[in-house]
Amino acid sequence: MPIQSIHNTESLYCALSLNREIMLTIIILVSATVLIVGVLGVYTYNEIQRLNDEITKTKINEVTALSSRFALRLQYATGIMELTSQTYPMTKPPTYSNLISDDLKGIPDSADAEKRDMAKKMIDKKFDFDYVFYAVPGGDIYFLEPFSSQLKLSQLNFAFRDWYRGATSTGSTYVSEVYVSANEKHNVMAIAVPIYDDSSQTLNGIFVGALNLGALQRSLSQVNLGQNEYFLIIDHNNNVVADSRKSESDIEIRKFTLDLSEQRGADVNTVTKAIDGTDQLIAFKTLAVGTHEWSIMSIQPHHDAFASSNALRNEALGIIATVVTITSITGFFMIRKINTNMALSNQLKQTNSALGLKTEQIKQIDIQKEEFSAMVTHELKTPLVPIIGYCKMLKSKMLGELNKEQLDSIDTIDKSAKRLESLISDIMDVRKLDLNKMKFDIDDFSIDDLFEGLSASYKVLKEKGKDFTTNLPARGLTIKTDKARLRQVFDNLISNAIKFTPEQGGKIEVGATKEDGKIIFYVKDNGIGIPKDKQEHLFKKFYQIDTSERRKAGGTGLGLAISKGIVEKLNGRIWVESDAGTGSVFYIELSG
């Protein structure tokens, strides 16, 4: 054959071989990307769930604490009013009702001093009462403390107030809705206790304390609020009793119009509702104090409440987008390289008889192929380290608890990553053998030790229904070669035997004999065997025996090529003897 034609044929082979390696690299790259996205997705999902749970729990704790404080404050004030109403001066009928005048809006300051003293003490004790007063059964004010506030009253009779109607109709302590005090000009709630005559059970009067809601407003302003978060206290008529956004001087009484009745319960509830077109996270608790129910709630824009988990989600999406972009760009250049090589191949096929490439050009293509393959296989192995590391941390619960389905997914990702790592290692070994850069450490070692190591490593096969044995008739044999590389060859051969032997009843035997100064090792199995016409191609790179059973087992066809390369570098030879259907025996011959 002419030299130019030989050159063209070699260049064509190089181009086609490089195309095959690029395609395999693209598959590996896409697999690595899927693994990275999978691991990152599982980790991000768990972290977001954990953050969201913590955020929701924090809201629940805030509302629970505030509800307890509000209930205690209201119950305390109510208890003080009820306790005081049961003392002697208060249980005595109002004996100075004849002194009530419209000018004084009650009785004179000097009249019924005993009752007034009790009211003054309640003001002095700073129970957050703006004023305390006593009303006679008809609704007229009997007295009010402080007296200066009594003189400022706009009218004498307050039977229209709901505290009067509630106390007289229920006959028990009544906590009113919020209203603006005509006297003090700010929001108050009245705690009204009806007082009955012990003997006749007739109504003597109503003892009332007006609770200053400014104290509640101050308590809300002291709560540590999140971004754009605010707290509300709502009374039984849906009036806003207190609002952390408002000042104490704001006396506007507003209605809370959002219906949360379906979500009400004894515990703190969380719900997302739209307010003024923006989704809000609402945590609220409904509690009964006195004769009514009250609602205490935290309201915060959903995106502000979950800002940390949203940031984590966006960061993960950014990383995923970056990984996919890099993969896409790399794949684009790889495909373009394939197209270039295909064009070159077509050109070489058309002009093979007339045109040739110079020796320097052929060398340059080989160099490019070697450099590209070495670079890609090395760089692809780098992202697998964090993937396998994260899988290990997730399975060991270092990053939080996972359920069984999540653990199974992580286990699948871990196994696939390790398989991918093994595949990349095989490709790197092939390149090292092609470039004659694989390192060997030649030394004397005991074959007994080698076989003991194999027995220890593969004893687990018995648990899977397969029998693994070693056969070494002569003890004390030694050989001078690279132990680690020879073990790599054995692992490849045993791995193939495991794949192609029956799940139950499979037998694998490893042995060695010494003949004419040479050591002959063998790996024997009772698997599906190898057809005669396929055996001559068996040790070629990427070669696959296209049978259904073998395709099920998978593989890239690199293991036997690597084994052959290693054995030959150790100045030995490797071959196979097999009949399809009766198992296979792989032999390795090395100098003793």
Question: What's 483-516 look like in SS3?
Answer: HHHHHHHHHHHHHHHHHHCCCCCEEEEEEEEEEC
Collect all residues with Cβ–Cβ distance below 8 Å to 338 and sequence separation of at least 6. 19, 22, 23
What is d(CA 280, CA 270) in angstroms, rounded to the nearest whole number?
10
Residue 583: which residues within 8 A CB-CB, separation 6 or more? 524, 525, 526, 527, 529
Q: Which of helix, strand or coil describes residue 405?
A: helix
Between CA 573 and CA 575 the distance in angstroms is 7
Q: What is the CATH number of domain 86-212?
A: 3.30.450.20
Q: Which residues contact 213 (CB under 8 A, 6 or more apart)?
A: 178, 186, 187, 188, 189, 241, 242
Question: Which residues, in sequence order, are bridge partners of residue 521?
Answer: 512, 588
CB distance 192 to 176 below 8 Å: yes
Q: What is the pairing mode between strands 179-180 and 230-234?
A: unpaired
Residue 34 corresponds to which tokens in the numbers above? Answer: 């899927």
Distance CA 367, CA 492 (A): 29
Q: Hey, do 86-212 and 216-305 end up sharing a CATH topology, with the first three levels equal?
A: yes
Count how many Cα atoms sit within 13 Å of the Cα of residue 11 in the half-sphere of its side chain. Answer: 28
Tell the burial category of 360 from Cβ atoms under 10 Å away from its Cβ (0-12, 13-18, 19+): exposed
- Which CATH architecture is the domain 443-591 placed in? 2-Layer Sandwich (3.30)
- Furthest-apart CA pair in the chain: how many Å? 139
**Residue 141, beta-bridge partner list:** 135
Backbone angles phi, psi at 358, to 5 degrees: -70, 155
Distance CA 324, CA 37 (A): 9
Question: Any idea what the Cα angle at residue 387 is, between residues 381 and 393, rounded to 5°?
Answer: 140
Distance (Å, whole) CA 215 – CA 73: 10
Q: How far apart are CA 253 and CA 276, in angstroms?
A: 19
Structural domain spans, the chain: 3-57+307-434, 86-212, 216-305, 443-591
Cis-peptide into 146, omega within 30 deg: yes
What is the reported pTM? 0.52
Per-residue pLDDT of the chain (592 residues; tens, 9 = 90+): 444 444 455 554 555 555 666 677 777 777 777 877 887 788 888 888 888 888 888 888 888 888 888 888 888 889 999 999 999 899 999 999 999 999 999 999 999 999 999 999 998 887 788 899 999 999 999 999 999 999 999 899 999 999 999 999 999 999 988 888 777 677 888 999 999 988 888 999 999 999 888 777 777 777 777 888 888 888 878 888 788 887 766 657 788 877 776 666 667 888 888 888 899 999 888 888 766 788 888 999 998 988 888 888 888 888 888 877 877 777 677 677 666 766 666 665 665 544 444 556 656 665 555 665 656 555 566 666 677 777 777 777 776 777 777 777 777 787 777 677 777 777 777 777 777 878 888 999 999 999 999 999 888 888 888 899 998 877 888 899 999 999 999 999 998 888 888 888 889 999 999 888 899 999 999 888 888 878 777 887 766 665 444 444 455 667 888 889 999 999 999 999 988 777 899 999 998 6
211-213-217 Cα angle (round to 5)? 150
Other C-beta atoms closer than 10 Å to the C-beta of 291 total 14
Domain 216-305, CATH among 1.10.645.10, 3.30.2130.30, 3.60.20.10, 3.30.450.20: 3.30.450.20
Instruction: Give the separation between CA 253 and CA 241, rounded to whole angstroms.
Output: 8
Q: Determine whether 446 is exposed, middle or buried from the number of CB atoms within 10 Å of its CB (0-12, 13-18, 19+).
A: middle
d(C-alpha 404, C-alpha 402), whole Å: 7
The torsion angles phi and psi of 281, rounded to 5 degrees, stand at -85, 120
CB 559 within 8 A of CB 550: no
Helix (H, G, I), strand (E, B) or coil at 66: helix
Helix axes 359-381, 404-434, angle to 10 degrees: 150
Q: Which phi and psi (to 5°) does residue 75 adopt? A: -65, -35
